[in-house]
Structure 1
Amino acid sequence: MKKLITLASGAVLSSVASFPVLAQSSITLYGVLDNGLVYQSSGGGNSAVRAVPGGLFATRYGFKGSEDIGGGIHVNFQLEQAFSGQTGVATNPADAFNRLAYVGLSGGFGEVRFGLQNSPQYDVLQAAMDPSWVKSIASPMNNFNGLIIRANNGISYYTPTYAGLAAKFMVALRDSSAGTGNGIGFYNVVVQYSNGPLKAAAGYERGDEPGVGAGGSYTLAGGAAAGPGAVFSVFNAGASYGIGANRIWLAYHTENLTNTPKYMQHDVYQISDSYEFSPAAMLSVMYGYLHDRTGKGNNAQEIGLLYEYSLSKATELYTAAGFIQNRNQAAYTLAGTAYSGLALTPGTDTRGIGVGLVHKF
């Protein structure tokens, strides 16, 4: 394996070195601002109206650039920081760029990236699972699922697309300075297919001590946290088919987290439908069912609605609503893309509705 990696690296470097230097660089400043209001209540009598950031998109800004070094080869980089659009405070003030910080190469061979980056599951697979891209209180997949969102020390490879088929691979190395040893702490593989009205993707990821061993951020439904020696594994699959202005979506998610309460071992099934009334207006309906694999009956189900209206190419208004029915000790709540839902008594239902304004630049 070491010889294979060495030969591949040498081949890329040799090909780069053989091209004349015709450097042309570009740098882009970009960002997303998403602010809104949300009302949520639960069967336990807990309710609140809150001003929230990131109901549909995480508020962030970033820089990305590319240099053409000739021969079809580009050097790329991206730096990205998340912050609250309500307060202006960085999501993690200790980090200059807490979402993305990578450099890489792209060309006819595909693309490689090195550094802090999104996992392929988060970056591309979620777009195949429901019309919201697994965002907002309307998405059962967002409220029920755990996922390793991104990782430090990442090395990824994105293949070119052949006949609509592409694959994405990523590993993240452990950081010995954090006291977690060496070697691979996280890996993820995703396969995508897109041909005409059919879009499909599937992927598997595994992280040892997520957020520690792989140095990555991670989110788990139900508020559980990983402890020492924890292993978190996820398989996702999604497909959609377009018929005129209508698109039907199917998605499946299964996850397992060791050395935590067993209710984290579950499967989620979701069916969705989206309809474009016009190029500016779309309504999505999503239904999801969570099955507790432990046999304790901690099941849950949700129905969600999302209406999006584009005021321009850069600005969007949205309304998201959701209702979750929890059973036994299940305590799943309605969470926005970048904010947590209200805590509730296990076994109680919860409902909510939010409105927001998104501007992209």
Structure 2
Amino acid sequence: MKKMRVISAAVLGCISSLAMAQTTLGNSSVTLYGLVDVGFTHVTGGPGGTQNNIASGNMEGSRFGFKGNEDLGGGYRAIFTLEGRFEADTGALSNRPASLGKLPDRLSTATSLGLPAALQPAVSAVAAQLGSTIGVNLGNSLFDRQAFVGLVTPVGAFTLGRQYTPAYLATANFDVMKTESSLALGQLVAIPTSFDIRVSNSLQYGLQKDGLSATAMYAAGEVAGKASASRLLGAMVIYNGNGYSLGGGYNTRNNELGEKSLTTAIIGATLDAGPGTVYGQYASIKDDHPTGLSVIAPTLVAGGLSTTAANLVQNAFINGFKQNARLFQIGYRITSGVHTISVAYNSMNDRRPFNADRSSYGAAYTYALSKRTDLSAVLTHLNNKSPSQDALGGNGYVGGVSASPGQDSSSMAFTIRHRF
């Protein structure tokens, strides 16, 4: 059998780093690496009007990490990765969007949810609680980005811990922006989230043979007495040919009751054309049993609301957070010497009764000062079709919501990024 060359989930996740410090002992090594990304943003359309900020994570989330590798002989290697985020503008480990805990009006107004106006106090209480969970690493986990250990063998790599999901690896590969900046496809599906980016308690198998790369993942929900609750399954396959690539990915997750919840399927391709490369992808998003909402009714009953009214509110939020959408991106990327130019058009077709369609388009330019340091400028405009209320963020932070349904949002960002 031809020997297979194995790649880890970290490589498939498009993690770019240059070693600054490496310690070698015998046949093993530990590498310190990271990335600092910070710059100026000018965003319009938010609840507070135009926002001018110094922000971390405009192009990529700032991070630091450790990677270990030990040659065990016979084609076997032990590996580990520990990677944490930080905010280069404040030094914090987490961040909240400019709109803080505000949900879109369609998810926080009783009448929009199909409920009597008299239930607005209960709706507001639930919306405030759900809104408090919007942000990045709000639990301040030290290694929120990645934390896994694994064994590379002649027939594949097995890794266990907190890792990128297969569907996210696929969409990142076929995103013309590689998920960077406000121009990335994922900016259209932040609330509610349509991609499980990372998952804890996971076992992943990955391999690469010639131009074929593949991963398969099982993530345990670890809910006592419910083996299927909060479980995630996923797989990804990508083939890189001469001047083209194609492939896809799939994730499906259960909610806390064991019901099938968020399911994401992606297909994509790239094609070298002229001086650059065309990128395209199409994704299907489906969620009939949203996660984490089964506690709404018991909480409201404990607060004094009748069981009947509490169930009405819970069911309304479940219907409101259901997802049925199609995502599409087409883009073109040119790299010439120290210059990289990307353009993209993204769309989200919401197939629910809300019909909260949205789209974005723009351009990004990066100038490489060196192999480790670059400057970037990104201009993005987002069109919200009422009742859509999306707002633009960056790779390292959520944009939140716009001021009102149908309010468009624009973003202009200038960033310096250094890898170490």
Q: Which residue of 2 aligns with 1:237?
A: 267
Q: Could you tell me how far 1:242 is from its partner in structure 2?
A: 0.9
Query: 1:229 Cα deviation (Å)?
Result: 5.5
Q: Is the 8 A contact 1:108 1:160 kept in 2?
A: no
Structure 1 residues 251 and 338: alpha-carbon distance in aligned structure 2, compared to 1, 3 A threshold: same
User: Residue 10 of structure 1 corresponds to which residue in structure 2?
Assistant: none
Provide the C-alpha distance between the structure 2 equivalents of 1:236 and 1:199, rounded to a whole number of angstroms: 14
CA displacement at 1:79 relative to structure 2: 0.6
Matched ranges for 1:8-23 at <5 A: none
- Contact 2:67/2:80, CA 8 A, preserved across alignment: yes
Q: CA deviation at 1:45?
A: 7.8
CA apart distance, 1:96: 3.0
2:195 maps to 1:147: yes
Could you say if the C-alpha distance between residues 69 and 45 of structure 1 is closer, same or farther in structure 2, counting changes exceeding 3 Å? Answer: closer
Displacement of 1:195 in angstroms is 0.7
Q: Tell me the TM-score normalised to structure 2 length.
A: 0.71
Please give the alpha-carbon distance, in whole angstroms, between the structure 1 residues aligned to 2:195 and 2:330: 20
Q: Which residue of 2 aligns with 1:327?
A: 385
Q: CA RMSD in A?
A: 2.3
Q: What does 1:348-359 align with in structure 2 at a 5 Å threshold? A: 348-359=407-418
Aligned counterparts of 2:363 and 2:333: Cα–Cα separation in 1 = 10
Counterpart CA distance in 1 for 2:151 and 2:373 is: 32
> 212, 218, 233: which is aligned to 1:171?
218
Equivalent residue for 2:406, pick from 334, 347, 353: 347
2:331 is aligned to 272
- Give the counterpart letter for 2:44 in structure 1: S
Q: 2:280 aligns with which of 232, 243, 250?
A: 250
* Counterpart position of 1:125: 170
Instruction: Report deviation, 1:264.
Output: 3.1
Name stretches of at least 5 consecutive residues in structure 2 with no aligned partner: 1-24, 95-136, 289-317
Encode CA deviations 1:213-258: one digit per residue, 9 max, x unaligned.
5xxxxxxxxxxxxx99571110112111113421111111121223
Question: Which aligned pairs between 1:1-361 and structure 2 lie closer than 5 A?
Answer: 24-42=27-45, 46-91=49-94, 92=137, 94-122=140-168, 124-144=169-189, 146-162=194-210, 164-176=211-223, 179=224, 181-183=226-228, 185-209=231-255, 231-258=261-288, 259-261=318-320, 264-276=323-335, 278-341=336-399, 343-344=401-402, 345-361=404-420
Report SS of the residue matched to 2:237.
strand
Question: How far apart, in 1, do the equivalents of 2:345 and 2:265 lie?
Answer: 19
- Pairwise CA distance, 1:261: 1.6
Contact 1:275 1:282 in 2 (8 A): yes
Aligned CA distance change for structure 1 residues 358 and 73 (closer, same or farther; 3 Å): same
Q: CA shift at 1:337, angstroms?
A: 0.8
Cα shift at 1:263: 6.8
Q: How far did 1:183 drift?
A: 4.5
Deviation at 1:305, TM superposition (A): 1.0
For the residues of structure 1 that align with 2:225 and 2:253, how far apart are their CA atoms?
A: 13
Relative distance call for 1:360 and 1:235 in structure 2 (3 A) is same
- Identity rate, percent: 27
Residues 1:341 and 1:262: Cα distance change in structure 2 (over 3 Å)? closer
3-state SS of 2:386 partner:
coil
Decide whether aligned partners of structure 1 residues 228 and 55 sit closer, same or farther in structure 2, where only a CA change above 3 A counts: farther
Unaligned runs of 5+ in 1: 1-21, 214-226
Residues 253 and 310 of structure 1: CA distance in aligned 2, closer, same or farther (over 3 Å): same
- C-alpha contact 1:137 1:143 (8 A) present in aligned 2: no
Q: Secondary structure at the match of 2:208?
A: coil
CA distance 1:198–1:183, shift in 2 (3 Å): same
Task: Name the aligned partner's letter for residue 120 of structure 1.
Answer: P
Task: Quote the Cα distance in structure 2 between the aligned partners of 1:328 and 1:45.
Answer: 19
The answer to whether the Cα contact below 8 Å between 2:390 and 2:400 also exists between their aligned partners in 1 is no
Indicate the structure with greater strand content.
1
Is the Cα–Cα contact under 8 Å of residues 271 and 278 in structure 2 kept in the other structure?
yes
Q: Is the 8 A contact 1:105 1:113 kept in 2?
A: yes
Task: Indicate the SS of the match to 2:371.
Answer: coil
CA distance change for structure 1 residues 341 and 137 in 2, over 3 Å: closer, same or farther?
same
Change in 2 beyond 3 A, CA 1:230/1:72:
closer
